[in-house]
């Protein structure tokens, strides 16, 4: 599709386009416009009119458009044959939006001075402003016929013809312009686009061949011709031109890409890929262009190992050519992340963030990976670095607080979560996440009132938030208070997520605290069944229940399992009594 230009308005409407509407206007209506010109006025009135015209122009230059209109109107009143005053009034009225008045003023100017080109151009512009394209075109055609060697008028006509979709006539005008100014490469390119829009492919090729004959060593024009050959099934001719481009510019990436397409269409995947690699090795091929190709490979390689291998080869070239480019590093990170090569992916996302620290997505991806790797030291360091650049991004406070929480810096965790919560007032779902983490952090600090308030706020925002229901009910059970309320909340969390191992343990533990040991055993056992790797706390809970039921040997067995799991878990350490239970083979609470 041709990128059609807008109508090029003549210079008469380009200055002082916007200003405050005037309260009064000088008007000449069709009815008021005399059929014949008035008689000339005296020389004195002509001089007075000219002086007023000059004063009006000064006011216009100063931006005092209302005063200018008044002065121009007085000039026209002094001398109705002052066509320049009517012309200035036409421009100002057009710019003010009073198009019909502008049309009448400029027609008056033309009656006084019919050969003035600027008056004619303004009339055409005013017609276009009223969507009277045919009338405007008529004026422009007449001007073009009267002044066939005036390039500005011819180009203005061409612009209008293109805008109105009169392509064949546009070709005629381009050919005429060429007779005036000689061959012009830009007009030749425009002509090719027009011919392609008209479906005149062969004529477009002829014009492209002519352009190449004038500029035989210009790769851009050779490339255009090659593309036309390719589109019209003349692949071999296109192929010859690709090599011709490479003779002129051996590192021309576009020619390599076009050759890659040629070989791919011919079924030669190996040569196609070799040309693609050569394109990637070109310093003139931008990182953005290479990234677009790798974006395609990202999806093609999801289910095809051949494309995946090729993608990594291209990425190696990309990083060799652009080792310090943030996008190049991030692209490699994307591929590695998809392959679950998390530590390597983290390296490249973090490197991208160091190169371009103002790009939030690099930091976010780094923090997500640190969180997934449970590397809380790295998570803390990267989150604090990112906050130096994005102090108003709640997601960064979320990760920062999470790092502090897992590193048992609970005061710092509370600070981060509180700040993040205040940034999420318009995002209730994210706010709930901050509130539940605040509840957890306050619990670790034994600030139970603040912990309870955080969970209550979360449940006000979402009464069915299963995390808040579970955590709040569990902490109440640990304190041995409001057990009926805790049991009700825990049961609701299980209605929402019936197979969640943590929720099953909470419900069992509440029953334990209420003395319902058989029920506790049933639910905590379900928790163990639903856990891929049971936590020290759940194993210890099950041992406690067995002990209460008189199954002391089995209880010791689960306490020992809990102690072993504790050695492999950096966060869940079980209760403070776990080692004493194992040593003394006795329940402590």
Q: What is the pLDDT at residue 29? A: 46
* Alpha-carbon 366 to chain mean position: 20
pLDDT at res. 255: 85
Residues 167 and 204 reside in one and the same domain: no
Average pLDDT over residues 26-39: 57
Residue 51 covered by a domain = yes
- The pLDDT of residue 5: 38
Q: Is 66 in the same domain as 172?
A: yes
H helices within 39-184, ranges in order?
43-61, 65-78, 83-96, 99-112, 117-129, 133-146, 151-163, 167-181
Is 449 inside a domain boundary?
no
Residue written as tokens 């090659």? 226
Calculate mean pLDDT across residues 245-260: 84
Cα–Cα dist 291/285, whole Å: 10
The pLDDT, as a whole number, for residue 421 is: 95
Domain check: are 469 and 589 in the same one?
no
Is 90 exceeded by the pLDDT of residue 13?
no
Q: With respect to residue 469, please indicate whether it lies within any of the assigned structural domains.
A: yes
Q: Copy the structure tokens of residue 118.
A: 């600027």
Are the beta carbons of 539 and 562 closer than 8 angstroms?
yes
Question: Would you state the torsion angle of the CA atoms of residues 360, 363, 367, 369, taken in this order, to the nearest 10 degrees?
Answer: 110
Could you tell me if 496 and 466 are in contact, meaning their C-beta atoms sit under 8 angstroms apart? yes
Handedness of CA 372, 374, 376, 378 (dihedral sign): negative
Residues 15 and 65 in one domain: yes
Same domain, 514 and 544: no
Residues 423-429, mean pLDDT to the nearest whole number: 93
* Rg of the chain over all Cα atoms, to the nearest angstrom: 40
pLDDT for the residue numbered 560: 92
d(CA 159, CA 194): 12
237 and 136 in a common domain: no
The neighbour count for residue 474, using CB atoms within 10 Å, is: 22
End-to-end Cα distance, the chain: 79
Question: What is each CA distance from 266 to 227, 244, 252, in whole angstroms?
Answer: 16, 20, 21
The set of residues, in sequence order, having a beta carbon less than 8 Å from that of 62 and lying 6+ positions away, is none
Give just the sign of the alpha carbon dihedral 324, 330, 331, 333: positive
What CATH number has the domain bearing residue 135? 1.25.40.10
In a domain, 325, yes or no: no
Reply yes or no on whether the pLDDT at 454 is more than 50: yes
Instruction: Enter the tokens of residue 292.
Output: 């677009």
- Token pair of 397, please? 């406070």
**Of 491, 518, 545, which residue sits at a domain end?**
518
pLDDT at 36 over 90: no
Q: 437, 421 in Cβ contact below 8 A?
A: no
DSSP one-letter code for 550: T
Kindly state whether residue 38 falls inside one of the protein's structural domains: yes
Please check whether residues 204 and 95 belong to one and the same domain: no
Distance CA 541, CA 520 (A): 9
> Tens digits of per-residue pLDDT, 208-237?
888 878 888 787 888 888 788 777 778 788
Domains of the chain: total = 4
pLDDT of residue 9: 43
Tokens 């990309």 correspond to what residue? Answer: 318
pLDDT at res. 573: 61
Contact of 90 with 27, CB cutoff 8 Å:
no
Confidence of residue 290 (pLDDT cuts 50, 70, 90): very high
Based on the fold, state whether residues 157 and 43 are members of the same structural domain.
yes
126 touches 114 (CB < 8 A): no
Question: Percentage of residues in the chain with pLDDT exceeding 70?
Answer: 93
Structure tokens at 254: 């576009």
Judged against a pLDDT cut of 60, whether residue 17 lies above it is answered with no
278-291 mean pLDDT: 92
Burial class (CB in 10 A: 0-12, 13-18, 19+), 584: exposed
472 within 8 A of 439, measured Cβ to Cβ: yes
Does one domain contain both 131 and 17? Answer: yes
Q: Are 140 and 246 in the same domain?
A: no
| Residues of the domain holding 587 | 533-589
Give the mean pLDDT of the chain: 88
| pLDDT tens digits, 521-536 | 999 999 999 988 888 9
The pTM (predicted TM-score) of the whole model is 0.69
pLDDT of 138-153, one tens digit each?
Answer: 988 998 898 899 888 8
Q: Identify the pLDDT of residue 269.
A: 92
Residue whose tokens read 């060799």: 320
| The predicted structure's pLDDT at residue 570 | 59
Residues 6+ apart with CB under 8 A from 97: 21
Lowest average pLDDT, out of 114-118, 310-314, 419-423, 500-504, goes to 114-118
Plot region of 408 (φ>0 → left; ψ -120 to 50 → alpha; else → beta) = left
Q: What angle do CA 5, 6, 12 make, to 5 degrees?
A: 125
Q: What local confidence, expressed as pLDDT, does residue 22 receive?
A: 37
Question: What is the C-alpha to C-alpha distance for residues 327 and 288, in angstroms, rounded to an integer?
Answer: 8
Contact 91, 103 (CB under 8 A): no
pLDDT at 571: 63
Tokens of 110: 């033309």
The answer to the question of residue 292 being in a domain is: no
Q: 478: which residues sit within 8 A by CB, 6+ positions away?
A: none
| DSSP class per residue in 80-102 | TT-HHHHHHHHHHHHHHT-HHHH
Please indicate, yes or no, if residue 448 is contained in any of the structural domains: no
SS3 sequence, 566-580?
HHCCCCCCCCCCHHH
Q: Which two tokens stand for residue 60?
A: 């216009």
Q: What's the pLDDT at 4?
A: 35
Tell me the C-alpha distance between 207 and 193, whole Å.
10
134 and 81 within one domain: yes
Does a structural domain hold residue 378?
no
**Residue 92 phi, psi (nearest 5):** -65, -40
Q: Cα–Cα distance between 383 and 424 in angstroms, integer?
A: 18
pLDDT at 188: 86
d(CA 68, CA 510): 87
User: Average pLDDT, stretch 465-483?
Assistant: 96
pLDDT of residue 133: 87
For residue 273, pLDDT over 90 is answered with: yes
Q: Are residues 125 and 208 in the same domain?
A: no
27 closest CA partner among 87, 112, 89: 89
Region 2-28 average pLDDT: 38
Provide the H-helix boundaries in 232-341.
235-248, 253-265, 269-280, 287-300, 305-321, 326-338
pLDDT, residue 572, reads: 65
Residue 206 confidence (pLDDT) above 90: no
Inter-residue contact 421 to 438 (CB < 8 Å): yes
Q: Which two tokens stand for residue 324?
A: 């310090």
In the chain, the percentage of residues whose pLDDT exceeds 90 is: 59
Query: In the predicted model, what is the mean pLDDT of residues 552-579?
Result: 83
């Amino acid at each position: 599709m041709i990128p059609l230009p807008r109508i090029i308005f003549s210079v008469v409407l380009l200055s002082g386009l916007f200003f405050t509407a005037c309260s009064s206007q000088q008007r000449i209506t069709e009815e008021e416009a005399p059929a014949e010109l008035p008689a000339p006025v005296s020389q004195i009135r002509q001089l007075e009119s000219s002086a007023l015209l000059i004063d009006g122009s000064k006011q216009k230059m100063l931006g005092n458009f209302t005063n200018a209109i008044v002065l121009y109107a007085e000039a026209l009143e002094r001398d109705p044959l002052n066509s320049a005053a009517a012309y200035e009034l036409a421009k100002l009225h057009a710019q003010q939006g009073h198009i019909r008045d502008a049309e009448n003023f400029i027609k008056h100017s033309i009656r006084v001075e019919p050969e003035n080109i600027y008056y004619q151009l303004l009339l055409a512009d005013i017609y276009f402003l009223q969507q009277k394209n045919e009338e405007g075109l008529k004026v422009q055609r007449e001007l073009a016929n009267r002044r066939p060697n005036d390039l500005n008028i011819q180009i203005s006509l061409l612009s209008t013809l293109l805008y109105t979709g009169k392509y064949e006539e546009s070709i005629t005008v381009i050919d005429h312009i060429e007779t005036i100014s000689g061959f012009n490469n830009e007009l030749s390119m425009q002509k090719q686009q027009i011919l392609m829009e008209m479906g005149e492919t062969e004529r477009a090729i002829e014009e492209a061949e002519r352009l190449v004959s004038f500029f035989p060593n210009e790769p851009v024009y050779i490339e255009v011709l090659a593309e036309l050959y390719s589109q019209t099934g003349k692949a071999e001719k296109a192929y010859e031109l690709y090599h011709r481009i490479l003779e002129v510019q051996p590192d021309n990436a576009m020619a390599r890409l076009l050759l890659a397409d040629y070989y791919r269409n011919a079924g030669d995947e190996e040569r196609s890929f070799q040309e693609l690699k050569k394109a990637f090795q070109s310093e003139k091929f931008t990182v953005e262009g290479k990234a677009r190709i790798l974006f395609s490979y990202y999806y093609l390689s999801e289910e095809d190992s051949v494309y995946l291998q090729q993608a990594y080869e291209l990425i190696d070239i990309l990083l060799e050519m652009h080792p310090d480019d943030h996008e190049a590093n991030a692209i490699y990170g994307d591929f590695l992340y998809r392959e679950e090569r998390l530590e390597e992916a983290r390296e490249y996302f973090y490197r991208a963030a160091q190169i371009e620290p103002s790009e939030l997505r690099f930091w976010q991806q780094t923090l997500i990976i640190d969180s997934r790797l449970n590397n809380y030291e790295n998570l803390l360091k990267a989150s604090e670095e990112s906050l130096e650049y994005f102090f108003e991004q709640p997601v960064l406070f979320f990760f920062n607080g999470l790092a502090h929480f897992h590193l048992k810096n609970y005061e710092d965790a509370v600070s981060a979560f509180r700040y993040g919560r205040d940034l999420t007032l318009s995002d209730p779902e994210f706010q709930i996440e901050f509130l539940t983490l605040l509840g957890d952090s306050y619990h670790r600090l034994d600030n139970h009132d603040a912990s309870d308030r955080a969970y209550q706020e979360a449940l006000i925002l979402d009464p069915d938030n299963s995390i808040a229901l579970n955590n709040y009910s569990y902490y109440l059970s640990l304190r041995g208070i409001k057990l009926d309320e805790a049991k009700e909340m825990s049961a609701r969390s299980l209605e929402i997520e019936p197979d969640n191992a943590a929720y099953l343990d909470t419900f069992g533990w509440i029953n334990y605290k209420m003395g319902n040991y058989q029920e506790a055993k049933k639910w905590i056992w379900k928790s163990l069944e639903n856990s891929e790797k049971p936590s020290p706390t759940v194993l210890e809970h099950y041992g406690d229940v067995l002990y209460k039921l008189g199954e002391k040997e089995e209880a010791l067995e689960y306490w020992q399992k809990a102690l072993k799991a504790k050695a492999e878990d950096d966060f869940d350490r079980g209760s403070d009594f776990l080692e004493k239970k194992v040593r003394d083979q006795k329940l402590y609470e």
